């Protein structure tokens, strides 16, 4: 399953994502990973949630990002959910079409590997295709 948390830059998507990760972990004890472009949310996350700083892995394209996701899931087949903050920066997305293509690929990975993705995306609902609008769970 894919969930999108959308809103313009500075509207609180990161804080919302951190709160959601903490709540999901406390409610279910799920195995979670939080991927971001820095470590600024480390002190806010529950200590049992792994924070991965994607910039340490030099991801330069959407293809590298997808490989990174498969590698992460190969290392830990028990992951329940992956939170992706600053999605376009992490995934090497350069256009709306790139974002949609990568999100569709993540949806396939989600089904194949039985893992959910919660993605923050700097966009308004008007910017999204109808298929992406269906994935929005929080709009700020």
> How would you list the strands of the sheet with 50-53, edge to edge?
50-53, 32-36, 81-84, 116-122, 2-7, 136-139
pLDDT for 41 equals 74
| Predicted pLDDT of residue 94 | 86
pLDDT score at 102: 95
Q: Which domains does the chain have, with CATH numbers?
A: 2-139 (3.40.50.300)
Cβ neighbours for 132, distance < 8 A, ≥ 6 positions apart:
4, 99, 100, 103
What percent of the chain is predicted at pLDDT more than 90? 67
The predicted-structure confidence for 55-64, as pLDDT tens digits, reads as follows 999 999 999 9
User: What's residue 38's pLDDT?
Assistant: 87
pLDDT tens-place string over residues 8-64: 888 999 999 999 999 999 998 889 999 999 887 777 898 899 999 999 999 999 999
How is residue 5 annotated by DSSP? Answer: E
128: CB partners within 8 A, 6+ apart: 4, 6, 136
pLDDT at 95: 87
Give pLDDT, residue 124: 87
What tens digit of pLDDT does each residue of 68-119 get?
Answer: 999 999 988 889 999 999 999 999 998 888 899 999 999 999 999 999 999 9
């Amino acid at each position: 399953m894919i969930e999108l948390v959308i809103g313009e830059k500075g509207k609180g998507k990161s804080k919302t994502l951190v709160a959601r990760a903490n709540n999901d972990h406390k409610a279910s004890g799920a195995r979670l990973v939080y991927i971001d472009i820095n470590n600024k949310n480390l002190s806010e996350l529950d200590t049992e949630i792994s924070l991965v700083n994607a910039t340490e892995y030099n991801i330069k394209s959407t293809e590298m990002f997808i490989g990174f996701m498969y590698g992460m899931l190969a290392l830990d087949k028990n992951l329940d959910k992956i939170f992706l903050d600053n999605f376009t920066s992490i995934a090497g997305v350069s256009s709306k079409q790139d974002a949609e293509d990568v999100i569709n690929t993540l949806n396939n990975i989600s089904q194949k590997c039985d893992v959910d993705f919660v993605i923050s995306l700097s966009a308004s609902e008007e910017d999204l295709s109808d298929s992406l609008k269906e994935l929005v769970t929080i709009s700020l």
